[in-house]
Chain A
Amino acid sequence: MLTLAIWWACILAEALVLFRAFPGRLLRRYPFFYTYAASVLVSDVFLFAVYVLNPVSYAAWCWRAEFFNILLGCGIILEIFKHVLSRYPGAERLARITGVAVFSAIFCFVLLYPMVTGASRAGAAFAELEKYVALERDVLVAQAILFFAVLAVISYYRTAMGRNAKGMILGYGVWLGASVMTLALRYYIGRRFTHAWNVIQPLAYFTSLLIWAVSLWSYEPSPAFDEPALPEMDHEAVMATTRSAMEAMRSHLTKVVRA
């Protein structure tokens, strides 16, 4: 009953988020985000109908819809690049390199891990549901690592963010963090955790929807880039000398700490 209530609340909140996109013309400004939002709304309504009319086939449809929406969720990271980082070429470059490095590392891990541990053979013994849980958890962990890396670059360079972009990041982060943790617990504890999982994950998602509904109520772009009209710095010279000074300090500190 509680799960159904949260489900309905989520559908209403998703509809509200999409509805608010029209007066502020947000659809055109954040196309990837609203593609994701529309997709989860359609999936939820469709899955609810399946759940009522044909409960046997619900699980199969549910996992397909989940994976499709998780892939579309990457669009939110694209929106972050477009609206938060694009005005800062240096920070954007660093975030891009970090993203590629993270995905390369994950790809290598996925290829090498089963060879080293024989995990794929052990996996064959799992029930179908367990395999889906493990797969969803792994995909979400990969996405969360990328999301966290981009967030670290944004925080480190203190780039400006409007209410819309901040809300997108917070909402998606809450859902992603909660999902990764609950899926890991579900995989480790097993079916005993299913009941809690069925409540915690939709509640986290509902929280995200509320954050999105509030932060995307109207259009509020990132603040204008308020850089004074002053001569350009020679960044390379500043960087090179800062670096050599830091190296000198570091080497001396190492000696002192070891002494």
Chain B
Amino acid sequence: MIQLILILAFGVLCLSSLYFLARRSPRAEGGSGPLVEARQAVLALRSGLLPPDLVARIFAREDLEYVQSEVPDNVRALFIDERKKIALSWVNQVRRQILCLRRFYLGSARSYARLSFKTEVELALDFAALLFACRAVLYIRGPFAVPGMVETTAAAATRVCNVYEKSLAFLTPAQLGTLADRSAGPARP
């Protein structure tokens, strides 16, 4: 019976993956698109999303402590709700930019002949775990429960940004404009 369930589950998985394959665009996410997106993602992360002051402010525990001690329950509930929305919005934006960087990484990796199987699997799992855990922990435990995680995530994302920034340093603003015109999809803000 277990064997049957496993084979049926595998068959369903195969057929559903074909459905997603059928829906995808025939073009690879290659060319200048991911390059431009990666460059813009690095800029967005650096200037708008990852500065330590901003991160500390969004997830500041002192704000919660102040509200808990000074204001009525309904205001406190409203504050927590609003702060959670802001935190989720921040996480979603960081997540989106990290996905852009991952696309760029995969575009570089797929043409690299000496790719290491072990490293690729580890990186794929790390990316997946990170993207999933950021969201899951925030949803389950709220924005104030995990300040350390957010700081570390932001610091690590900053390190990743530094690397990508060096890799993409050859792209001057003029080249960036030309590539953005050439890329098929609309450039991300």
Contacts and interface: CB of A to CB of B under 8 A. Distances in A.
The interface centre, meaning the residue of A152, A185, A233 with most chain B CB atoms within 10 A of its CB, is A233
B11 A181 contact: yes
Interface string A178-214: 1011001101100000000000000000000000000
B167 A256 contact: no
For chain B, what secondary structure do more than half of its interface residues adopt (helix, strand, loop), or is it mixed?
helix
B47 interface: no
A102 interface: no
A229 to B, nearest CB: 10
A230 B35 contact: yes
A88 B110 contact: yes
Contact of A88 (B20, B22, B111, B179): B111
A184 B122 CA distance: 33
Contact of A228 (B124, B148, B179): B179
B159 to A, nearest CB: 5
A173 interface: yes
Interface stretch (B23-31, B58-66, B70-78): B23-31
A32 B52 CA distance: 57
A223 interface: yes
B154 to A, nearest CB: 10
Nearest to A176: B14
Contact of B10 (A93, A94, A141, A225): A141
Nearest to A248: B156
27 contacts: A89-B111, A90-B110, A93-B114, A94-B117, A151-B14, A151-B18, A156-B124, A157-B110, A158-B103, A160-B27, A169-B18, A173-B21, A181-B11, A184-B8, A227-B31, A227-B111, A228-B35, A230-B170, A238-B167, A239-B119, A241-B159, A242-B123, A242-B160, A245-B156, A246-B130, A256-B133, A257-B133
Closest A-B pairs by Cβ, 9 of them: A160-B28, A246-B126, A181-B11, A89-B113, A226-B31, A184-B7, A157-B110, A177-B14, A90-B115
Interface of B: 1, 3-4, 7-8, 10-15, 17-18, 20-22, 24, 26-32, 35, 103, 105-106, 108-115, 117, 119-120, 122-124, 126-127, 129-130, 133, 137, 146, 148-149, 152-153, 156-157, 159-160, 162-164, 166-167, 170-171, 175, 179, 182
